[in-house]
Amino acid sequence: MRQLISYFYKSAIYCANKDLITHKGDAGMATNPSVAERLNTLLRPILRGELRLRAWDGSEAGPPDGPALVIRDRQALRRMLWQPNQLGLARAWVAGELDVDGDLYDALLRIAETVWREGEPERRDTLGLAREAISLGALGRQPAPPPEEIVMSGRRHSRGRDSGAISHHYDVSNDFYRLVLGPSMVYSCAYWPSADSDLETAQHDKLDLICRKLGLHEGRRLLDVGCGWGSLAIHAAREYGVDVVGITISREQADLARKRVAEAGLSDRVEIRLQDYREINDGPFDAISSIGMAEHVGTATYAEYARILFTQLKPGGRLLNHQIASRTESTTGNVEATFINRYVFPDGELVALGVTTGLIEDAGFEVRDVEALRPHYALTLREWVRNLEAHWDEAVEQVGAGRARVWRLYMAACALAFETDRLGVNQILAVKPHSDGHNVMPLVRPRSVQ
């Protein structure tokens, strides 16, 4: 990249002396386009969308309707020169050098190709960016990334590296998550009885749906893998009378989950552990839930994950695996230079539903039911964004402006990804078969579970 920048810099100095920046009017007279007009022409190959631009000098260009992309600082342009992809845009956004005036969802839809595209643009696009960067006084050394960015080190999906990745996302502030998630403290797709329902009802219904699918009742023992702040564990113990072991590798989650369990008077029925799933050795359990956790496991280690859960389950026991799936292509390759990897979910991997069900069955499970909840997650994410925006000043006080901006962008973009069928989310219900072939599942799914 440094060699490319050097080449572009030299080329741009030459081009800057040509008639490439000053434009000709109809009468042949030279005109001086505004900063926004130059940015609009310049950034079109990167943004790939029709969006009004507002520059740092207040000038505007582009379609008059809809939201405006506000470039507050020349440094945003510099970031896009060094990283002419979603990472460059993300860094400028997190740093507050780039903003949206108006509907964020509308703005993201207008530049959707850029939001989802990875990798570098064509070489001529980068050259044009370098040329204009010189003319606008924005060319220089690559700015340091915002402090919210993380680059993981060590062996991918080792226990130590997984612990660091989880801590980056979850150990930010329990109070911040309460602002975003609401009283339920459930950080996974809700189950909406109708689109005009409320988030708390939808999350309650999701927890109850899981318990019914697992066939929970008094006297049974549940393992909740990736238990978060303990919401499912509390619901299962209180409403279904089961004993629960909840595990997480987020220290802040474990601390608050234990406190919530104690406040609910369920300490005799619910145990919360700071423990990796690879350390579980006190099964067998009657049922296992894994809700929004398997995305962190990684494809290379998913077979081990499924095998461990199979080993820890009694014959006839059920597994409920609730997991986001890619609806376009797997994100298990080169995802290092993406917004989600650097700022949101380090080392997270999404694969197609068929890959996941295949790996679960390879471990010995029989998959008995799959329920797609894609539209439900879009509704959930929009509610989380609404909560964040309604409590913006408090959120910034808790985690800082940069991290609050990360969460707002990632949740809004993901809402659109579910709405446009780029992402899906599925509940996979699987059973560990009896050796004698005994039928351990109902012949049909009860209507109350649909």
293 and 249 both lie in a single domain? yes
Q: What is the pLDDT of residue 334?
A: 47
For residue 394, the Cα-to-chain-centroid distance in whole angstroms is: 22
Residue 39 has pLDDT above 50, yes or no: yes
Average pLDDT over residues 389-394: 98
115 and 170 both lie in a single domain? no
Q: What is the pLDDT of residue 15?
A: 40
221 and 106 both lie in a single domain? no
Is 197 contained in some domain?
A: yes
Per-residue pLDDT of 163-184, as tens digits, reads 999 999 999 999 999 999 999 9
Q: What is the mean pLDDT of the chain?
A: 87
118 and 199 both lie in a single domain? no
Q: Where a domain ends, among 81, 101, 135?
A: 135
- Token pair for residue 246? 């909840």
Per-residue pLDDT of 361-386, as tens digits, reads 999 999 999 999 999 999 999 999 99
170 and 226 both lie in a single domain? yes
313 and 444 both lie in a single domain? yes
Is 336 contained in some domain?
A: yes
Cβ–Cβ < 8 Å for 119, 52: no
Q: What is the pLDDT of residue 325?
A: 96
**pTM score:** 0.89
312 and 206 both lie in a single domain? yes
Per-residue pLDDT of 55-102, as tens digits, reads 999 999 988 888 999 999 999 988 887 887 788 889 999 999 999 999
Q: What is the pLDDT of residue 345?
A: 94
111 and 244 both lie in a single domain? no
- Token pair for residue 123? 């070489």
Is 252 contained in some domain?
A: yes
360 and 264 both lie in a single domain? yes
Is 59 contained in some domain?
A: yes
Is 149 contained in some domain?
A: no
Query: Which pLDDT band, with edges at 50, 70 and 90, does 251 fall under?
Result: very high
Q: What is the pLDDT of residue 6?
A: 43
Q: What is the pLDDT of residue 446?
A: 64
Q: What is the CATH number of the domain that holds 336?
A: 3.40.50.150
Q: What is the pLDDT of residue 226?
A: 97
Average pLDDT over residues 307-334: 86
Show the domain range for 88: 2-135
Residue 121 has pLDDT above 60, yes or no: no
Query: Which pLDDT band, with edges at 50, 70 and 90, does 344 fall under?
Result: very high
Residue 282 has pLDDT above 70, yes or no: yes
Is 142 contained in some domain?
A: no
Is 154 contained in some domain?
A: no
Q: Where a domain ends, among 101, 120, 135?
A: 135
276 and 339 both lie in a single domain? yes
Pick the most confident of 110-124, 229-243, 320-334: 229-243
114 and 165 both lie in a single domain? no
Residue 26 has pLDDT above 70, yes or no: no
35 and 180 both lie in a single domain? no
- Token pair for residue 37? 């007009």
Between 6-20, 143-157, 331-345, 416-430, the lowest mean confidence (pLDDT) is in: 6-20
Is 22 contained in some domain?
A: yes
Say what percent of the chain tops pLDDT 70.
Answer: 84
Q: What is the pLDDT of residue 28?
A: 46
Number of domains making up the chain: 2
